[in-house]
Amino acid sequence: MFRSKIAGIGKYLPSRVVSNQDLVKYMDTSDEWIQERTGIKERRYAHRTAETTTTMGVEAAQIAIERAGITPQDIDFIVFATLSPDYYFPGCGVLLQRAMKMKEIGALDVRNQCSGFLYALSVADQFIKTGMYKNILVVGSEKHSFGLDFSTRGRNITVIFGDGAGAVVLQPTEDPNRGILSSHLHSDGESAEILAMYNPGTHANHWTNEPVADFDDAEIGQMFLSHAIIDKAQVFPNMDGQAVFKKAIIKFPEVIMESLSVNGYSTADIKVLIPHQANLRIAQFVQQKLKLRDD
């Protein structure tokens, strides 16, 4: 069985920088309030029309492919992770394949939110290990800014998220000292709604106490996305920040220790830890719990 190695890495950040002070124009917040709770000072926003989730993914992918020493024509599978796709369907994977003029290959979209890139990487890893594909492009790209609530009501989410993309090319290797050692994926649906974007969606019965049978097909169809849903600001993401924080500081160390244990390592062996970016306070808590040095 092969191992998967990361042969090339690429990233893309939009040029527009949005500081905490910029957000004060839209909501009751401050630089101090945001930094105290998240550690974030600024974020990037994509151009409203010229940049999409796919175009940012293309920019990152071009760099990763070039660094891997191959061309877009050498890619034989795409895994694209995003929660902010260009279209409800089709997925960004096929849009990227078309934009980069690749041959006719498989393109899989992964919708696992913040953990999407890790899920995408783990899927690609399995295809490499089995020998099915030799050059897999894994992309994580988000254009959050187009769907945020820029009011005080939505500040606990809006101050956190920005736009950008990253990509890697996975290839097989027989070198025992290189490659992905293991992946450890978990989900806990019990608390699914503590961070969620409900609309547009197919859960029309969630917004009314009346039985769905009392509505005709046309009325139910309008519940997917209606003026009423928009007027009630039910098209924005919602988060119970404290609940998410409490969940993260428990689950994050658990899965790190699981991955170390399976591979025969301890926290003392960690040279670099790269956590997801959402909250510096979570990262600091994990660092303290695992007794990792600042460097």
| Tens of pLDDT, residues 258-274 | 999 999 999 999 999 99
**What percentage of the chain reaches a pLDDT higher than 70?**
93
Asked if 44 contacts 104 with a C-beta cutoff of 8 angstroms, the reply is: no
Return d(Cα 263, Cα 158) in angstroms, integer. Answer: 38
Closest alpha carbon to 113 in 157, 171, 175: 157
- Which residue has better confidence, 219 or 292? 292
At 217, the pLDDT band (50, 70, 90 cuts) reads low
DSSP letter, residue 89: S
- Mean pLDDT, the chain, whole residue set: 92
Lowest mean pLDDT among 36-40, 161-165, 205-209: 205-209
DSSP codes of every residue in 118-165: HHHHHHHHHHHHTTS-S-EEEEEEEEGGGG---SGGGHHHHTT--EEE
At 218, the pLDDT band (50, 70, 90 cuts) reads low
- pLDDT at residue 229, rounded to an integer: 81
Report the relative pairing of strands 136-143 and 77-81 from DSSP bridges. Answer: parallel
What would the pLDDT profile of 106-126 be if each residue is shown by its tens digit? 999 999 999 999 999 999 999
At 155, the pLDDT band (50, 70, 90 cuts) reads very high
| Three-state secondary-structure class, residue 291 | coil
- Which residue has better confidence, 218 or 105? 105
Indicate whether 255 pLDDT > 50: yes
Task: Give the bridge partners for 42, in sequence order.
Answer: 19
- pLDDT at residue 202, rounded to an integer: 81
At 205, the pLDDT band (50, 70, 90 cuts) reads very low
- Max Cα distance, the chain (Å): 63
Indicate whether 211 pLDDT > 60: no
pLDDT, mean of residues 205-230: 63
Indicate whether 212 pLDDT > 60: no
CA distances from 12 to 53, 60, 141, 194, 211 (A): 11, 5, 9, 30, 47
- pLDDT at residue 230, rounded to an integer: 83
- pLDDT at residue 222, rounded to an integer: 64
Return d(Cα 56, Cα 3) in angstroms, integer. Answer: 28
Indicate whether 251 pLDDT > 70: yes
- pLDDT at residue 216, rounded to an integer: 62
Closest alpha carbon to 6 in 170, 163, 243, 167: 170
